[in-house]
Every structure is written in structure tokens, then in C-alpha cells.
Structure 1
Amino acid sequence: MECHLSIHLFFIIYIIGCEGGSYFNDNKRLTLHDNKDLDWMAKRVNDETLLSTVTIPGTYQSMKINGLFKHQVWDLQNQFDAGVRFFDISLKGGAVRDGSLKSMKFLEVMNIMTSLLAKHQKETILLRLTLEDSTSTKAVEAYIQDHKNKVWVETAVPKMSQVRQKIVFVQSPKFNKGLMVHSTNVAEKKIKSTSEYMEKIKKYLQDAKDKCSQHLTLTETSAEKWFKSASGLAKDLNPELHKYLTDLLKDPQKPKCLGVISMDFPGQDLIKTIFDFNSDSGSSSDGSAVEGSEAQPPPEEESK
């Protein structure tokens, strides 16, 4: 009897622990609140808007969903359906470093992304790659060569009209194709306190607000803390991030843009709060490209 009771309690605790939250989620299943935001770029961002002025929810180490050191729980399909449009992927041997024994090949990843864009033709995917070896470099270069009409590899920040239904490559210290990015911070390896780190994130987002009119900006909220997993830290941090962003949205002087915000284990409401910053970008002239001019690439960032 005691044994059966213990087993029942275990499953109850497990189920509760894996429930998806509004701001933090570690449940592999995605149940959309509604379907009206599946194409949020189509509805909220007009064709003349510079991509850098779109506030975009993203994920850090987007496909690291297996093993002890995972950063996400949803697969690419679920992340996209929840509203994520920036993905961060590391490749080694031409395959994704996702923590599993059998990793997905780069071409398989691209097929998933192009399939998503074929169904949502007014959306755009931003993809930052970290290439760990020459095999991965060759695989990416071959893909770009064979699919020039499906990707953006220029350094100039495009208008939305130029990149709908395309994958926009974003540079990293180990990949030099596509948009240069102004990282307002680099995901921190070790932090002492969640509250102190949140204060840093606020400063990073203020920096992004001042630069996103001309440069693609990236704020990574992922971090590590002693005796805390990435999910454990995100469970503490994501609600604070959501509260701060919600307060910004209510501010009469809310920022026109915040660039890309990359997270671990984001929940649906946190993702939606981020793309809600674009609610009036379609009617605002501040984010539009000026005729005859283009955004300048940001200064090169130091390697991680």
C-alpha cells in the first residue's frame, strides 16, 4: 500500500513539475491559447518596416532539448507556433548539437524551417549559426548556394518585404554570413543572483532600444547559476522578465523596438508580450526604411 501511494505521489509531482506556465514552460506539449497569433509578423509588421525595428522573441540554443544541459523543451515546430522567430543553433559534423546520441542533420533543420515558412508565407525566420568544424561550414555554404532564393545572407538590414518567407542568417563569432548583430550582452556563464542579473538585462534592453532603429540587436537572457539548471534559473527569471516587459508596454513612452530577445524555456505569454511591442509598428513611420538609405552594420562584436 505504501509503495503504491509513493508511486502515485511521484507521478503527481512529475505531472505538476512538467506543466507549462505562462512565462516559463518545461512541458513538451504545446496547447495554443488561440490561433490568431500564428502569423503575428503578417498582422503586425508592414512591408516597409526595417527588420531591426521588429521586436522578436527568440530562443537560446534552440534545439538543445535533450540531455542534462538542455535549454529548451519544445521542438522547432512548437517554438514557431508559439511565436518564436529567432533560432540559435550550433553545428558539429554537419549535425545539430542537441544533446542526443542521434542528432538531426543541418539539411533536415532547414527543411523544417522552409516547410513552416511555406505554410506561413508572410513570416520570417532569423537563424544564428555557430559552426564548430569545416564539415558544418561546407554543409551551410552548400545550402546557401543551392537555395539563394530562400535565404538572406547580406549584411544590410532588409525591409520586411525583402525577407518574408525567407530565412535570414545572423552572424556569430563562428559564422560570417548574413546580418551582423549588436549583442547588448553575451549569455552569462555564471551569475550570483537572479535579481541582480535581471537589473543587468534591463540595462541591456535599454541599450537595445537605443540601437535597434539601425542595427539588429540581440539580448540573451540565458545564464548559469551554481546548483541551478538552465530550466531552474529560467523558472525564476522569466516571470521577472515578463513583468518588466509588461510595464514597458503600458508606459506611454514605450520603446519603438527592443530587437531580438533570446530566452530559455519561455512560456506562451512571455513570447506574446515580446511580439506585442509590434502592435503599432505597421502604422509607425519610425521603423520604416528611408528611401535611398539602408541601415549600417554594427561594429564587430568580440568573440564569446
Structure 2
Amino acid sequence: MRVGIFDELNFFSRLHPLTATIYFVELFVLLLVFNHLLVTGVLFVGLAVLCSWYFSRQKVWGTLKGVGSLMLMIFVFNVILNQTGTKTLWSWQLGSWTFRITQTATLYGVTMALSLGGMILAFVLFNGVITTPKLSYLLFPVVPRLAMLLTISLRMVNLFTQKFRRLLMLQKTRNVVLSEGSWRERLQKTGRLLRILLIDSVSSAMETAVLMEARGFGAKKRSHYQTFRWQTMDGWFIVGSLVIFSLTIILRFQGWGWTGDVTRFTILGSHDGWLLLPLLAFVGLPLVGEGGYKLCEN
């Protein structure tokens, strides 16, 4: 799910690849270690605003619609499978079996959906910042095969999306529209397209493997056509992100932003409101850097 690539004139794109990677590692960790509804909601909204700042709003909106379907699926599964909780919002009985929708299941489902949505938005942001040259610069000296695998995978995702859109346009010229017909007909049409894409992807992967072998991949150390230098703004940014991240993790180990017992799941704990301040500061740190970068340029 690739929204785009950043403008090379902004602050985030000029950071050293190591600095940006450390920031995203911290961001993914924060998305994993909290399970309160308001905390995950703030992270999700903050990442949506951050993506809207760097990418076009139309593309971000399209991404959010795709993310929304996955979030809805996670929410429905959690509500159906989780029957814990004392407060019942709705119940339905069929013979000896009783199905309930509880407040705990609803809150937990929304929280997990927001957490998944935040992960996807963070990956979209990462995919826009850490371009192929930056990824190669970081990983090829250490793990060249893994670096090549990640580079090809990211490229294949973009190509897969482009080919799927082209197939949709081609099918429309044949008067075949996926959004028309019953659910069974839509699934059959989508399955045919996915089968075509799968065959084409396997063929492209085999061709890529043959070309890599012909060019002697792995025989010697790979060179780089683009180099990156550590700058003063990298030091300030990484220090600021590490300080805020460390403070947030300390609060997490104090029990803030986490409920171990799902039956006692709430929107927010008694003292967790203060946790929102460092989280907002961490997500908004790139925007603060953009402001400082513009002031220094002027």
C-alpha cells in the first residue's frame, strides 16, 4: 500500500536513513505496547494527520478507505469471538446458546482496529520516507540478501497494485465491472483477476531471479550511487525522539496505557490522560522539525 514518496526538499526526507529508521522503530514499538482506546486513537489520528501533511489528501483518503475495511473486519471478529465482560449491550438467544455483544468486547475491538490502522499508516509513512536507496544504504553492508529481498518486495507491492488497476480498467472496456452483480459474482470476478496477477507475479519473480543470477548477484560487495551524511539536525532529532520515547516507555512500565485483564478493559485509566502529551509530542516531532527547518532556511 504505497501512497507516494516524499518531496526531497522537506525535513523528513533530508534526515539520515539511520535517524529515520530509529524513529520508525520507536513508533512501531509504541503502537504495540499500549492497549487503551484513547491512547491508540490518538496515535491513529496523529499518524493520519502526519500522512496528510506529507502526501496528497486524495491518496491518503483512498488509503484510509482501504484501511477502514481491515479495521472493520478486526472489530467484527473481536466482537463476535469475545464474549467476556459484565455489561451486555445486546444479546440474542438461540436455543441453549446465547450470543452477547458486551461493552468490553466493543471497546477492545475498536482498540485493536485502531492499533492495526495505526500500524498500516506507519508503514505507509515508512515506505514514503525510507526509499530504495536509503534502504540499500542501511542494509546492504550488513545483510545484503535481506536488503535485496526487502527492496524487491516493496517494489513488487507497488507493481502489483499498478497491474491490478490496469486490469480493472481493461475489464471495464469489456463491460466487466467488479462492483456490479451479486456478492458471488463479485467474488468470482475478483478471483479471476487475482489468479491472473498471481501467475504474472510468479513469472516476474522467476525472471528477476534469472537476471540476478546472470549479473552475478552476491559475488562481490555492492556499490552505492547515493550516499548520505550525518547532519546536525539528525543529532537533535534523534535525541529528542529518544528522550520522548524513553519517557513514554517508563510510563508504560509504571502501568500507564495498559490493561492486563481484558474483563476490566476501559477507555482510559485514571492517570493515563497525561500519557497523551508525550505521545502527541512524539508523533508531531517531524512537524516540529519541519518548522525549524523552514526557519533555518529563511
TM range (shorter): under 0.3
Structure having greater relative contact order (Cα 8 Å, sep ≥ 6): 2
Scaled by the length of structure 1, what TM-score is found?
Answer: 0.26
- Relative to its length, the structure with more strand (as a share) is 1
- Relative to its length, the structure with more helix (as a share) is 2
